Structure 1
Amino acid sequence: MGVINIYYFDFISVGIDIGSKVSWASIITPDHKPFSRPIRIDHQSIESLEFLISQIKKAEEVNSLKARIFLESTGIYHIPLYCHLKESGFEVSILNPLITDSNKNQGIRKVKSDKKDALRIAKTAYTNDLKTSLIPSDVVLNVRALVREYHKLADDKTSHVNQLTKELAIIFPGYNEVFSNTTSKTSISILKTYRTPKRILATPRDELIDFIRKNAKKGLDAATKTYNKLINAAKIAITFSHQLRSSYDLIELQLDFIEIFEKKKTDILNRIKDYLHDYKDEKFVSQINLLRSINGVGFISAVSIMAEIGDFSAFTKPKQLVAYFGIDPSVKESGKFKGTKSKMSKRGSAVARRVLFIVALASIRRNRKGEANNPVLRKYYDKKQESKAKKAAIGALMRKITNIIFAVLRNNREFVIITPQQHIQNYNQLLKLVA
């Protein structure tokens, strides 16, 4: 007896494999039969785009079914085609490459081609409970692009700061101990004005103290303490250093780069604020402000997280947001084997993970009085460290913060620090009211 296939899907599937200049489309019917040969789409040809649309409409007419178009998320290259097809009246969805990747090896032969990939994407559409997404709003796309560039500039600046530190270790070994931040305004001003340990030692005491006080905008006592540290480091550098002329040239170069990157970061920050003001997306701005109520979350952190989330309504459970950020544990199991060491999957947003890491450190950081930014999370972190390594404890803390982010956005209420005991009391009171 032959095998009878029963299909429950009532749409034509169009899978498109995206390229930077050329894409390929495959149109199939619910019985997985190709409607036509793969269609080549030249992004610079109007005729090519019009032919694709005509073929999709022809497939709809012949089969008396509506078409659904599926594209893999490819960074930026899928956006113009997505918008063009939406404006042409089609239902278009975005697929996570991780979903379509899982279907690559269904055949025995290892085949990789754009035409085959387009067919694979089209077939993936006929999957029960298929997870799709839409292109975020323009304000999210604009802010997301600027936020990602902001973090790239921060990385570029860090690389030059590291190079500056290395050069100072050669010609001025103790300098990095004088300032907690080598790239502070005072530190950069000293390096640009006085340059060498000899010039620092030759400068009159009152002149140098006054220079430090004006740049640091601190009192005389604080400026004097910094002066004493600087003089001591300069004296040591006279006998314990190697005065390479190239190091001074490189330090000057690194300082210029650091100032350029810092200025560009400030420019981007101002543009982000302009976008948020110009687009007047009250919900998006409100969600950013809600996140800023969480201890350790500043403006750029809140904007970064919301830009990566996009439409929060797509998430119904905290674990979905945890997985989206890529901070969920990877699972290794096979037969009776169960892996005991699990690591972060890191399959989600790298920017979100980066920001969550920064927020996690900020939330448990102690001030001069020894008080943590968030005492509840600090206690949670310390407890985790009793049985886990530091990195694992930080990972657990990042997941905890993600749960807080989810709760704040779901409840549309600002964050308030509540101890576990208070949570229990509030829950019991709620039960009494319901009863």
Structure 2
Amino acid sequence: MCKIIGIDISKQTFDVSFKRKERWDYFVFPNEEKGFKQLLNLIEQVDWVVMEASGSYYFPLATFLSSRNIKVCVENPLVIKRFSQTMLYRAKTDKKDARTIAEYGEKYDLKQWEQESENCTKLRHLYTRVELLNKQIQQNKRQLEAFESSGSLDKFLEKTIKKDLSNLEKTKHKIEVEMERLAKQQYGQTIENIESIPGIGRKTAMMLSLITDNFKKFENYKQLIAYVGFSPRIYQSGTSVKGKGHICKMGKAQIRKLLYMCSWSAKHCNKTCKEMYDRLKSLGKPERVIKIAIANKLLKQAFAIAKANGKYQENYC
């Protein structure tokens, strides 16, 4: 009989917990190859190893085990947190977290983790770097505006901030050029197909291909919409609580912004999006709500085209 091995991993160590003959065993190993080999002695070929996607700390261990044909499941930390809350656990220790992860694995169906390609890993790292650069650029711009509005900005300070801004913009541009080169190598055909959708540009097509790993992460478009963060969130209870509906922003903020911008042009050049815009406008819907609906429509079209591996057809049924 297989056992479910829960692992709570950190930068220097990882805690291991699993049930054997109605009792829980616990171990702590160093987060390095020596510890990986020690863990291997506890695992049988039929066992499952479950861990959280804790930053980049999980990746070396998951890669090590996967290369030895051990079944590994890497789960979203938020899923484990919600499971712990439903079990009414109050303790928060590495030992307890490892056991909680193992208990989660015993109760739910597990999906085997697959190591991504080298290009995909590079793209993820570059994407993360660009996000940080965007934050730094915005922070510098806001600071410069604040100093300028005071009316007493020192020339030396102004020159320094502008120089920093210029360097950040140049670095960002270089990274985006490299991202485009790698994305063409990894997802060239998919990007070309998605770009054929009126309203979607190169950057959006590239980002969609990257965050979905060439659309292999999802089985249907609803999962993709939820992942991006465009799913509607309804807040109602009984007859007295009727909150205003919003989208659930628990997904990728950058791709949401890109799709929202795409909806501005899609309402003019994309036939089905234009029809949707006119219909919702006639019903008196706010512009923001209509744009989000169009962004959802673009996501559905991108998902369908990527899965079909074909180009956009305006009158397709």
Alignment-derived partner of residue 76 in structure 1:
56
Unaligned runs of 5+ in 1: 1-9, 61-65, 171-241, 365-371, 428-435
CA spacing shift, 1:131–1:395, aligned 2, 3 Å: farther
| CA displacement at 1:353 relative to structure 2 | 2.2
Identity, in percent, stands at 22
Alignment-derived partner of residue 302 in structure 1:
205
CA spacing shift, 1:328–1:245, aligned 2, 3 Å: closer
CA spacing shift, 1:82–1:273, aligned 2, 3 Å: same
User: Within 5 A, what are the aligned runs for 1:149-298?
Assistant: 149-166=129-146, 244=152, 246=154, 248-276=155-183, 280-281=185-186, 284-298=187-201
Alignment-derived partner of residue 119 in structure 1:
99
| CA displacement at 1:328 relative to structure 2 | 0.8
Unaligned runs of 5+ in 2: none
Deviations 1:331-373 (A, max 9, x none): 4455677745222222223333233223233434xxxxxxx34
Alignment-derived partner of residue 72 in structure 2:
92
CA spacing shift, 1:413–1:144, aligned 2, 3 Å: same
TM-score normalised over the length of structure 2 = 0.86
Alignment-derived partner of residue 228 in structure 2:
325
CA spacing shift, 1:134–1:373, aligned 2, 3 Å: same
| CA displacement at 1:275 relative to structure 2 | 3.0
Deviations 1:276-309 (A, max 9, x none): 46xx44xx22112222222333333222221111
Residue among 18, 24, 29 paired with 1:41: 29
Is 1:102 the equivalent of 2:82?
Answer: yes
| CA displacement at 1:79 relative to structure 2 | 0.8
C-alpha distance in structure 2 between counterparts of 1:152 and 1:42, whole Å:
30
| CA displacement at 1:252 relative to structure 2 | 2.1
C-alpha distance in structure 1 between counterparts of 2:9 and 2:49, whole Å:
12
C-alpha distance in structure 1 between counterparts of 2:303 and 2:194, whole Å:
10
Is 1:346 the equivalent of 2:249?
Answer: yes
C-alpha distance in structure 2 between counterparts of 1:85 and 1:268, whole Å:
32
CA spacing shift, 1:161–1:105, aligned 2, 3 Å: closer
Alignment-derived partner of residue 276 in structure 2:
380
> What secondary structure sits across from 1:314 in the alignment?
coil
CA spacing shift, 1:15–1:266, aligned 2, 3 Å: same
- Larger C-alpha radius of gyration, 1 or 2? 1
User: Within 5 A, what are the aligned runs for 1:353-432?
Assistant: 353-364=256-267, 372-374=268-270, 376-381=272-277, 383-385=279-281, 386-416=283-313, 418=314, 422=315, 427=317
CA spacing shift, 1:75–1:415, aligned 2, 3 Å: farther
CA contact (8 A) 2:140 2:165 kept: yes
CA spacing shift, 1:54–1:265, aligned 2, 3 Å: same
C-alpha distance in structure 2 between counterparts of 1:353 and 1:413, whole Å:
24
Residue among 42, 48, 53 paired with 1:55: 42
**Letter matched to residue 353 of structure 1:** R
C-alpha distance in structure 2 between counterparts of 1:37 and 1:245, whole Å:
63
| CA displacement at 1:15 relative to structure 2 | 1.1
CA spacing shift, 1:82–1:254, aligned 2, 3 Å: same
Residue among 9, 17, 23 paired with 2:8: 17
CA contact (8 A) 2:234 2:243 kept: no
CA contact (8 A) 1:141 1:307 kept: no
Q: Return the structure number with greater strand share.
A: 2
C-alpha distance in structure 2 between counterparts of 1:336 and 1:70, whole Å:
43
CA spacing shift, 1:116–1:387, aligned 2, 3 Å: farther
CA spacing shift, 1:72–1:326, aligned 2, 3 Å: same
Which is further off, 13-22 or 353-362?
353-362
C-alpha distance in structure 2 between counterparts of 1:132 and 1:338, whole Å:
41
Residue among 131, 135, 145 paired with 2:125: 145
**Letter matched to residue 39 of structure 1:** F
CA spacing shift, 1:98–1:108, aligned 2, 3 Å: closer
CA contact (8 A) 1:148 1:351 kept: no
C-alpha distance in structure 1 between counterparts of 2:233 and 2:127, whole Å:
28
